Amino acid sequence: MVNVKVGETVPTGKFATVYYTPELENHSACGVPSKLTTDAWKGKKVVIFAVPGAFTPSCHANHLPPYVAKYDELKAKGVDVVAVLSNNDPFVLSGWTRVQNVGDKIVALTDINTEWSKALGLSVDLSGLGIGLGERTTRYAIVLDDLKIKYLGVEEDPSQVTVSGVDAVLAAL
């Protein structure tokens, strides 16, 4: 059950990330995880799209690539930060974004233990699929302006990319 709505301030969240550096390009380095919180987004316009898992079919083929392709359009609409969020560990997310040639455009955030998504009411239990996915972030997109929710698109079916996709977010901006 979604616990937040447009107009509300998001709860404080804590994340891990491996920030992109050119040293990661040859794939022999793993990087060093850093921590950040939602406090880093005070006074900023932020687009976050959440995926159930890196390297999973819809996330890998249909969700992340269009955000990369339309990154400049998001920036032209005043977006300061674009982030992809998942409960995958920061090393997996770093590897995934490197495979996808994201560079430093999109920050890959680990939703540690899915805590932030749970606080938003936006987690999903995928253990019933029988392939080891367990508790995950559901598929959603959220636009924040100074930590206030301006857009929230939650997929009814987390295998689909519609209201959480970049075109829906661009239309909302």
CATH of the domain at 97: 3.40.30.10
Residue 49, helix vs strand vs coil: strand
pTM here is: 0.91
Cα 157 to Cα 105: distance, rounded to the nearest angstrom: 27
Cα 24 to Cα 28: distance, rounded to the nearest angstrom: 7
Residue 30 annotated in active site: no
Give a yes or no: residue 5 inside a domain: no
Question: Which tens digit of pLDDT belongs to each residue from 77-97?
Answer: 999 999 999 988 899 999 989
- Total structural domains within the chain: 1
Backbone conformation region of residue 134, classed left if phi is above 0, alpha if psi is from -120 to 50, else beta: left
Selecting among 48, 50, 59, 124, the annotated active-site residue is: 59
Give a yes or no: residue 144 inside a domain: yes
And the tokens for 153?
Answer: 């698109």
Give a yes or no: residue 42 inside a domain: yes
Question: Which tens digit of pLDDT belongs to each residue from 25-82?
Answer: 887 778 889 999 999 999 999 999 999 878 776 777 788 999 999 999 999 999 999 9
Give a yes or no: residue 36 inside a domain: yes
Range of the domain at 146: 14-172
Q: Give the number of other Cβ atoms within 10 Å of residue 61's Cβ.
A: 11
Closest CA to 64 of 27, 93, 24, 37: 93
